[in-house]
Each structure stands twice: as structure tokens, then as C-alpha cells.
Amino acid sequence: MSPVAVDVCVVGGGPAGLALALELARAGVEVAVVEQSGHFNRSFRGESVSPDAVLVLDRLGVLDKIMAEGALVTTRLEITEAGRTVLDADFADFDYPHRYPLELPQPTLLGVLDNIASGFDNFTMHRQSKLVGLVEEDGAVVGVRVKTPSGEQEIRSKIVVGADGRFSKTLEMSGLAHERVPLERDVVWLKLPLPPEWDTETYRVRINGDRHGLFIPTYPDMVRVGFNIPKGGLRDLRKQGIGALHDKIDELAPELSDLVRERVTSYSDTSMLDIFTSVVPRWSRDGLVVIGDAAHTLTPILGQGVNHALIDAVTLAPMLASALAQDDQRAALRAATAEFQAVREPEIKRSRGLQLRQERMFTFGSKAGVLLRSTLYRAMNASPFLRQRVLADAYFRLQRKEKGA
């Protein structure tokens, strides 16, 4: 197949890749997205969208369309320890333009972004196209080679953007140094009908010793359940039979006991997420930059993955568009990608630090550790100032910064 040429080739049609492509297309940049899947039907991926990410979606002009397609608004965060509520936070108490997180099926988000971007003649989506190599000349990346149903295709571009997620092939092929740091646990995910005693607006965290579970309402009438197991512990859990999984749900959420036995009859009804964080010291080289999970994989805690992916996209898009308008595009793109990392990396480090502290708290199992954790949550619950301070750092950093707080 004959090579094609564009200004920007984005590898990965997830939230970061499609949001970036949409903004570039709007700016008049010729952009192609390479996506290995033929559809957007992705389960257990990026369904929790933080208030800051909701702001970004609004500014992208897609929020109203997403809400019309279907999403749930989260109004409360409830944490219980050994059956007792230790934190009950109401997002209505936060004075920001967008104060409520969303529970948003990723197929809806991606479908809306793709539909709008497809209205631009300078946007192209290459579906069922798998990255097989980078094209390099004189030490710079100048395109990609992809395997399509029709054969191998070369796409030449002035810059390649790796937005292909936590197991990024672009990052692996780039030669950029990177380290994957495993955490102490993995998470088993499953979905169940929402029990009648639960509303659709509360994000629930249940803790019992060193075990915890996330219980997240999911559009339209389900609950997404994630519970921790020791790192690499899925094989041992499976050996114990499906009853061992049922018992773990009983311990954390007895309201779901009958539902989990009815709906989860084998481990094929679950999904396991390997929990790690990625550290990439340098996010770019000549002709290539990585964004989103490809540059900085985070954990599922507090829904930060999609949040940072979308902010990465809207931060990088005008930088690339401006660089491509310069006479010396290569030098301008080099400067733009360096500036992008300088702007975004401090925020990523803050979120990673917050997540790692929360992860460690969830794994406390000793009496002293449990007491400390419970005391900290209760102190937050008793102090509106402390609650506002801590949760604003997790959910409202972009809006707080813009507000000058």
C-alpha cells in the first residue's frame, strides 16, 4: 500500500487520543488516528470521570451530547470501615462550576468524540490497524507502520503521538527510558445489578482490615465492583473456586450476596487489573511524544486516569498546532513537547503521590494501622475545612487553579 502523509499521527483511539485529534482537527491540522480495535466496546476502562475532566469535556463541546447519550452523576462519596461510616462527603459542598464526578461508559465518550471529529475532512480514523513499527530518518521519528486488514500501511507524519494506554507499544518502540513499578495489590472487577437499597449517586468504598472494595454506580442501573487481592494472587483465588470470590463480596457488601451468586458463576465473569504505576523520565524525542497512560500510568483510585488523559490532550493540542505553523517545524515541535512535559509533569507527580498514599492506607491491616486510617477519615468527616482541602486536591485541582485558590 502506498504511504499516506499527515501532520500528526496519533496511535490509540482512547480518551487521550481522540480528544487530542478532535482539537487538532478543529485547529486545521491534518491528523490520523491509528486504533487497533474495530469498536469502542471496552469494559472496566475509565468509566469514572472527575469534575475537572467534566470541565474539559464541557470545553471540548461534547458534554451535552454525552449526557444525552447517558451517564450517571455522582453526588456523594461514602467510606465505611468495618461497617461504620467514617467519611460521608457531599460534592454539592464544593463551590466550582463543575462539582460532580460522572460515571460514564467509555464507549459513549469515545463514540461522541469520534463522531464529532469525523465531521472534519482533515481527520481520519484507521480502525483495526495495529502498530508494528516506527519509521525513522536521521534519528527522528517520521511516521509509523501499521498492519491493517488490507495489508501493511505506512503513515508519514511530522510527529507521532503515543496515546495507546498503559501497555503502550509506542513507548516500547520509542527507545524512551521507562519503568513499571508494581504496587502491592491487583484488583478484580465485576459488574452486578444495583441492589434496591443503593442509589445511583453514591461512590462507595468499603474497608475491612487490609481488604477493601470499590462499589461504583454504572450507567444505567448496574454497580461496578472492584476488590483488592495480593499482587499476582488471582491464580490462588481461582484455585479456591468461585465461592472464594463470593465470600469476599459477602465480607465487604452483604447487600450484594444474592446478586453475585446469581450473576458471577465463574471467573470468566470477572476482569483482573494489574496495578502498577509507570515512570517515564522523558516523554518525547524528535518526532514523537507520549501522553496519557502511555506517559504516566496511574492507579484506579479517585478516577485520575481519564482525568489526566483528557487534560494532557487539551494541553498538547494548541502547542502542536502552534509548532506546526512555524518555519522550523522540527525545532518547534521539539520545544513544544518539552514544554508539554514541563507543564503537565508536576500535576502528575502530585496525583501519583496522593494515589500512592491512599493505596498504602487501604492496605493497613494491623490494629495500629487500622486505627490511624479510621482516625484520619473521621477527622476529615468532622472538619469541613479539612474535607474540602483534601478532596479538592484530588478532584478539583484544575478548577481550583483557575479560581486562584
Please give the mean pLDDT across all residues of the chain.
92
pLDDT tens-digit series, residues 292-343: 999 998 876 666 788 999 999 999 999 999 999 999 999 999 999 999 999 9
Name the fold adopted by 71-104+184-274+366-405.
Answer: D-Amino Acid Oxidase; Chain A, domain 2 (3.30.9)
Label the pairing between strands 288-290 and 284-285: antiparallel
- Helices and strands in the chain, H and E counts: 14, 20
Task: Give domain 4-42+106-181+278-362's CATH superfamily.
Answer: FAD/NAD(P)-binding domain (3.50.50.60)
Q: What is the pTM of this model?
A: 0.94
pLDDT tens-digit series, residues 36-51: 987 777 654 558 899 9
In 3-state terms, what secondary structure has residue 12?
coil
Label residue 97 exposed, middle or buried (CB < 10 Å: 0-12, 13-18, 19+).
exposed
Q: Please identify every stretch of the chain with a pLDDT value under 70, giving residue numbers as ranges.
A: 42-46, 300-303, 405
pLDDT at 303: 63
- Give the closest residue to 75 by CA, choosing from 203, 237, 239: 203
pLDDT at 46: 54
| DSSP codes joined into one string, 273-335 | E--EEEE-S--EETTEEE-THHHH---SGGGHHHHHHHHHHHHHHHHHHHHHTSSSHHHHHHH
- Give the closest residue to 14 by CA, choosing from 23, 29, 39: 39
Q: Bridge partners of 76?
A: 90, 202
In 3-state terms, what secondary structure has residue 153?
strand
Considering only CA atoms, give the Rg of the chain.
22
- Give the closest residue to 52 by CA, choosing from 312, 226, 341: 312
The CA dihedral of 168, 170, 176, 181, to the nearest 10 degrees, is: 0
Distance, CA of 13 to CA of 164 (rounded, Å)? 7
Residue extent(s) of CATH 3.30.9.10 domains in the chain: 71-104+184-274+366-405
Distance, CA of 91 to CA of 255 (rounded, Å)? 25
Residue extent(s) of CATH 3.50.50.60 domains in the chain: 4-42+106-181+278-362
